[in-house]
Amino acid sequence: MQPNLIEILLVEDNPGDIRLTQEALKEAKIFNNLHVARDGEEALAFLKRTAPFLQAPRPDIILLDLNLPKLDGREVLGEIKQDPQLRSIPVVILTTSDAEEDILKAYDLHANCYINKPVDLQKFMEIVKQIEAFWFSIVKLPAAN
């Protein structure tokens, strides 16, 4: 029997971080389908299934950077958590910002967790693997609507 495919939405504008996340997820043992949105507007279009994402799957989890073009991650997080159709999707903030105001704002907007993106490549790969291990091996996620 094939395990369930985990749908992940990565909202990230840095091509290097996208590539590292893809590599870390490839090395993991969990079957996943990684979708990438490169800015906040694209992320919301994907989540709300508007053109060109009319057939987009509902993600099981969202990995969200705060510093994005067009709409920043705080605005995206606020929109997700205000939408009754989207608010149950866990959102993991994965960002370089360690500013206390960003951390507080993210939790005020109901982020599920806040993780500092390390600058060291190996540590970054390990963080992504740990996120996946925790969220897909330990945590019970809500079924898609």
pLDDT recorded at residue 64:
97
Q: Does a structural domain hold residue 145? A: no
Distances in Å between the Cα of 115 and the Cα atoms of 62, 91, 106, 131 are 13, 11, 11, 9
Residues 92-97, mean pLDDT to the nearest whole number: 92
CB contact at 8 A, 123 and 117:
no
pLDDT recorded at residue 2:
45
Residues 101-127, mean pLDDT to the nearest whole number: 91
Residues 34-57: pLDDT tens digits? 999 999 999 999 999 999 999 999
Tally of domains in the chain: 1
Distance, in Å, from the CA atom of 127 to the CA atom of 117, rounded to the nearest integer, reads 8
Read off the DSSP letter of residue 77.
Answer: H
Residues 129-137, mean pLDDT to the nearest whole number: 82
- The pTM is what? 0.91
Q: Does a structural domain hold residue 1? A: no
- For 97, the domain range is 6-134
Q: Does a structural domain hold residue 27? A: yes
CB contact at 8 A, 68 and 10:
no
Q: Does a structural domain hold residue 81? A: yes
Q: Does a structural domain hold residue 56? A: yes
* CATH number for the domain harbouring residue 43: 3.40.50.2300
Q: Does a structural domain hold residue 141? A: no
